[in-house]
A and B are shown apart, each in its own frame.
Chain A
């Protein structure tokens, strides 16, 4: 229990907001609806409000950004251990975490409270989220290879394929994780993480959109990724060749759709300008 308490005392998400917001000018800066975080009780119905505000979490990436996973944190070490060693055997369950705790020499009394941090309601969701985060972090290993690829679509294909293949070691338990993620209480966190994934992939692929395309690209990418994951559940082909083929085709379709949209927009702009010029010239003639 002693070990557990020291972990609990470490600052979590809400605590850090409280700390950072002493200065009056940015007291509400993080908050969509300008409700101070101190008005949110941490439990009860207002949990939903907290989850909603997390959906709008700001994305500014400083030059020195925090690493996604900080292995100095004990809970992260425990989850990594559970993920690599016990999840392939026991699935995403309390049992995997308890085994990891015992394996690393912690007491497994009260372990639930340890993993209630980071805003997740239960240990299993923490474990699933850890899988998602570590797979997302692994994408940064591909950056060197990405620089050899030319087009944005080929980079996207490479990244999406790599990310899907990251599910291979736990493929037997992927359906558990997915069904757990879409529970109403976990939905917001899962969607936020899915958005983070598509945002990362778009950024690494060199997306430079500044307007509404920013949203449509990420939405399309998230859709393709989820379709790919669902396809993977039933895929028995060697090295998930069927899934990769499917995802590649879907990404090609999106590219041609984007091309069609841009062409129509260009044509529309040209027609508008020429109409205005025609009217102008007629007016000048009187």
Chain B
């Protein structure tokens, strides 16, 4: 209780007053708490790993486009569409990283080279291998975004304290709600890419099992590392 009252700031929005069903005068007594250290730490991780991940996706599609655009011009619009979405995701997380002052991943140069290499290699192996690569990557990314959404939904309540009555109302802050929307939108788009890849013969790749499992394993390792370094 001491901790909360010490760390509170004035709440600007009147919206909380209406949720409490009180008069406007009650607004002045409502104070919104800060995110806890653990919540801040989690957000820090989320932004760093997602930025690195979207950077990787951007470069994978870049590599595939380079390798395939000449051999298979019919795939150009599909790859281009997915690539452009990834560029948008990447820019969004770049902005978040700057504004929310998160440290970017130290291994950024490695992610760039690795992702470009993966894209070019699977692209050179042919259309099916490229699509299998997309399928594997987007499967891992979709699961990863889902996990983040779960934590953002369950663990990010901040107390809004009514100073008169001393009643705490757990509320999800606006910035976290925005983040939830962003992550779920991006997850849907990534899963769209997954469907596109399966429609374009991802399962026709040989050796399908080895290729997809190896890429999935690499992605999981990269996620684990980018969260920390």
Contact = CB atoms under 8 A, between A and B. Distances in A.
Interface of A: 10-11, 16-17, 19-21, 23, 25-26, 29-30, 32, 58-66, 70, 72-73, 199, 203, 207-212, 214-215, 280
B42 A29 contact: yes
Interface string B128-172: 000000000000000000000011001100000000000000000
B56 interface: no
Q: Which of B38, B45, B51 has the most CB of A within 10 A?
A: B38
A57 B142 CA distance: 28
Given A26-B155, A32-B228, A210-B94, A60 B101 contact: yes
B208 interface: no
A62 B2 contact: no
Interface residues of B, number: 41
Contacts of B7: 66
Interface in B1-21: 2-3, 6-7, 9
Contacts of B73: none
B82 interface: no
A62 B175 CA distance: 8
B109 interface: yes
Contact of B103 (A19, A29, A59, A63): A59
Interface of B: 2-3, 6-7, 9, 32, 34-45, 47, 51, 70, 94, 97-98, 100-104, 106, 108-109, 112, 150-151, 154-155, 173-175, 228
Contacts of B35: 62, 64
A286 B41 CA distance: 56
B30 to A, nearest CB: 13
Contacts of B173: 62-64
A26 B151 contact: yes
The 10 closest A-B pairs by CB, nearest first: A20-B36, A58-B44, A30-B41, A60-B44, A20-B38, A58-B41, A211-B108, A60-B43, A61-B101, A29-B42
Given A60-B102, A61-B100, A19 B36 contact: yes
B38 A30 contact: yes
B51 A210 contact: yes
Nearest to A58: B44
Given A26-B39, A60-B41, A66-B7, 8 more contacts: A25-B154, A59-B102, A60-B47, A61-B101, A63-B173, A211-B109, A211-B112, A215-B106
Nearest to B95: A208
Contacts of B51: 210
Contacts of A17: 37-38
A25 B103 CA distance: 22
B151 A25 contact: yes
A233 B106 CA distance: 34
Given A29-B45, A61-B101, A203-B101, A16 B37 contact: yes
A252 B72 CA distance: 49
A11 B100 contact: no
15 contacts: A17-B37, A20-B38, A20-B39, A23-B155, A25-B151, A25-B154, A32-B228, A59-B101, A60-B44, A62-B173, A63-B174, A64-B34, A210-B94, A215-B106, A280-B70
Contacts of B175: 62-63
Contact of A26 (B41, B108, B228): B41
Contacts of A207: 98
A247 to B, nearest CB: 24
A30 B227 CA distance: 11
Nearest to B70: A280
A60 B38 contact: no
A3 B174 CA distance: 39
Contacts of B44: 58-60
A73 B6 CA distance: 9
Contact of B98 (A58, A70, A208, A212): A208
Contacts of A73: 6
A26 B104 contact: no
Contacts of A199: 101
A23 to B, nearest CB: 5
